[in-house]
Amino acid sequence: MLTVVFLLLLRIVYRDLKPENVLLDHEGHVRITDFGLSRDDMEDDEHGAMTFCGTPEYLSPEMIYHRKTQKGYGSSVDWWSLGTLMYEMFTGWPPFYDKNIRTMMQKILHAPLTFAPKFKVSQEAQSMIHGLLARELDDRLGANNNHQAIMDHPFYASINWDALKRRELNPPFVPTVKGETDITNFDTGFTKMPVRLTPEKTEKGLAKFEDFTFSERSQLNEDSNGDEDDLIDKMYKQDEAEDAIIEKEREKFDKEDERKRQETMKALKELEHKPK
């Protein structure tokens, strides 16, 4: 939550808050990734953004309405997404989820927010999520740059925000086992890939790394018997194999992303033409 506050204080609208983009570093502190949909330098914090974007499950009502009204939206879309994310963390599903995107959007716009008793969500947590998922901007927690209203909410009563900012609080979960990073929750198709550093660009092109060695390259060196041409050939073949795996995964992701995009746009058009 504090990370979102910092983004908004920097006048950045993130627009893609969801579980896939929230990670933990090696010490257990939260890190937000993938700023591809972000917008900075917002002159109007609540109506300065105009691009329709985001993930269907986490779209705010004003983002959906914006498709038709073109009145713009602002940082409050991130507070709505935070409420959706919190609900999902407590229950396992976004609050208005439906396999049919059109139905899901109708639920986002009109369905009541409910908490099944089996999830045992505290009253403070329910109050917090209700505040973040208020459909009217003036009623939404954090709207109109009132970030302090969120930080002062009873749900966060035990949080020392200054200590949290300084990374002095002990995270409840640290993703390390015996000093090694725990990667059991990541797909082995990715964890088996060799770690690579991307050189920074210089005026002369890509920077050269001197005296750097990688375990997989060392093994290749041993297999090549010191033959430079053989080593280069083996490295090239390994790179080709890895690139093929990555490309295959990317194609699957792109197809699913495009399917969702088309279904979302179709659902929006149907909602726009729905008789009142």
Catalytic residues: 16
End-to-end CA distance of the chain: 37
Distance between CA atoms of residues 43 and 26, nearest Å: 36
Within 10 Å of residue 260's Cβ, how many Cβ atoms? 14
- Could you tell me which of 50, 151, 67 has the C-alpha nearest to residue 102? 67
Query: Checking DSSP bridges between strand 205-206 and strand 201-202, what pairing results, if any?
Result: antiparallel
Tokens matching residue 99: 């396999």
Contact between residue 44 and residue 18 where contact means Cβ atoms under 8 Å apart: no
